[in-house]
Structure 1
Amino acid sequence: MIIFSVLPIMHQVIFRASFQVVAALLLLLLLLQGDDCWCYQFKVGDVDCWGLPPPSNPLVYSSWSQTHRFRLGDTLLFLYPRSQDSVMQVTERAFNSCSLADPILKLDDGNSLFKLTTPGNYYFTSGVPGHCEKNQKLAVAVPSLNNGTFFPPAVDFAGPPAGSQSYLTVFGPAPTQGPSGNPAAAVTAMGSVFSAALLLGVALP
C-alpha cells in the first residue's frame, strides 16, 4: 500500500524537474540566439532633434553613423519640428552634391521612422534648402546577414559655414541607454527572463 501511494508523488516530482530543465534550456537557447534577431531603434545622432549641427559639433551625424553598427531590421528615428524641417532619402550623388531635386523618399511628419530592410548604403538629408550644405545629412551602411563586414560610406562633409545655428531643443534629452547602446535589447532580455520565470513558476507547487 505504501509503495502505491508513493508512486504518484514520484511521478509528479519527476515531471516538475523535467519541465524545469526544458524551460531552462529554452531560455538558454533564446539568450544565445536572440542577438541575431533583435532589431534596434536608433535615435539619429543621439541628439535632441534632427536639425542643423551645432557649432560645437559640426560633424555630429557623420561621427555618429561611423560609431554605430546597423543591421537589417533596425530602424532610424528622426525627431524634428514638422513645421521647420523634414527628412529625405537621396542617392549617393544627390547626397554629395546636396541636390534636393529628386529624392527617393520624403518624410515630414516630425516623428519619422525609417526601417533598414536591405543591405547597402543609405543616404539622408534635410529637405530644407541650404541645410545639407551645413552638414545636416546622414550616411548609413548596412551589411548583409551573411557578411558581417561593416564599411561606413566614404563621404565628404564640408566644414560648417560661418553663422550656422542649430534648432532649439524641443523634445528633451534622449533616454539613458545601457552598455549595449540601445535600450531595446535590455527590454527584450528582461522580457525573456520574466517569461521563463513564469514558466518555471507554473511547474512549482
Structure 2
Amino acid sequence: MEASKGLAALLLVAGVTMALMDSAGAYVFYAGGRDGWVLHPSESYGDWAERNRFQVADTIVFKYKKGEDSVLVVSKQDYDACDVSKPIRKLDGGDSVFKFDRSGPVYFISGAPGNCQQGQKLVVVVMAVRNCPPISSPPSPPPTSNTPPASSPSPAPVSHGPAPRPFPKPHPPTPAPSAAPVPGSPPPKSSVGAVSGPGISPAPAPVEPASSSSSSSYASNWSLVTVLLLMVLGASSFA
C-alpha cells in the first residue's frame, strides 16, 4: 500500500512538468502538463509555456481524444483571430507529436469550433541554437633554429693616451768644494746627507789633502825659533 502511494506521488510530480529527455539529448514536452490538450486546463497554456524552455529538436506532445479535437499550426494573424480556416499544419490523430525544427515563435490553436476563443491556444517560443566556440588548441612552440645566436660585438678598445715616461732615477748630489782648513780648527762638518731618498746612500765626506802653504808656514816658524835659540846661546857664551 505504501509503495503504491509513493509511485502515485512520483507520477504526480512527473505529470506537472511532463518533459522527458530522449536518447539524442532533446526534450519531450507534454502540452498543458498532466491535463493535456483540453479546453479548461488547471494551469493556463501561457503560464505553462513561460516556465519551460524550448530548443530546436525538442518535441511537444498534445494528448486528446481522437475525433473530438485537433491541433492546428497557424500564423500569428490566425492565432490572434482564432481563424481555423487555413492552418499551416493540422494534427488530428490523437496524441499528436510536433517537433521544433526552427527557432522563433510557433502558434497552436484548437481545431474544435469555439475552443480557441475560450483559451485553448498555445504559443511556444523556441530558442536559437547556440554554437559552442571551438576549443582552441594551445599554440605550438616556435621552431628551433640551428643557427647559433649572433654574438654581441666586442667593445672598442679604450685608448689611454701615450704610455707615461719612466721617472728618472735621482743622481747622488755632487759635494760642494770645501775651503781650506785653518790650523787648530775642527774639521768642517759634512753636508752630505741633506739629500736623501729611497735607494740613495749618503756619499762619504771627501778627504782634503794638506795644503803646501801650511807646510811652508810651519817650516819658516821653526827656522825663526832656531835662529833665536842660536843667538841666545851665542850671547851667553860671550858673557
Q: 1:49 aligns with which of 22, 29, 36?
A: 36
TM-score by length of 2: 0.44
**More displaced stretch, 78-87 vs 138-147:** 138-147
Report 1:68-87 matches (<5 A): 68-87=52-71
Deviations 1:100-147 (A, max 9, x none): 110000000001000001011000000011000010000000121138
Deviations 1:2-59 (A, max 9, x none): xxxxxxxxxxxxxxxxxxxxxxxxxxxxxxxxxxx610000101033311014xx4x6
Distance 2:30 2:73 in 1: 16
RMSD of aligned residue pairs (Cα, Å): 2.0
Alignment partner, residue 143 of structure 2? none
AA in 1 matched with 2:72: M
Q: 1:101 aligns with which of 81, 85, 100?
A: 85
Report 1:1-205 matches (<5 A): 38-54=25-41, 57=42, 60-146=44-130
Alignment partner, residue 154 of structure 1? none
Distance 2:54 2:98 in 1: 12
Alignment partner, residue 234 of structure 2? none
Shift of 1:66: 0.7
AA in 1 matched with 2:93: D
AA in 2 matched with 1:99: D
Deviations 1:45-95 (A, max 9, x none): 1033311014xx4x6111000110001100000010012100000001100
Tell me which stretches of 4 or more aligned residues in structure 1 moved more than 3 Å.
Answer: none
Distance 1:133 1:47 in 2: 22
AA in 2 matched with 1:74: D
Q: Which has the higher helix share?
A: 1
Distance 2:38 2:88 in 1: 20
Distance 1:104 1:96 in 2: 15
Alignment partner, residue 167 of structure 1? none
Q: Compare relative contact order (CA 8 Å, sep 6+) and give the higher one, 1 or 2.
A: 1
SS of residue matched to 1:109:
coil
Would you say the 8 A contact 2:32–2:44 is kept in 1? yes
State the percentage of identical aligned residues.
Answer: 40
AA in 1 matched with 2:57: G
Distance 1:140 1:129 in 2: 22
Would you say the 8 A contact 2:53–2:127 is kept in 1? no
List gaps (5 residues or longer) in structure 2. Answer: 1-23, 132-239
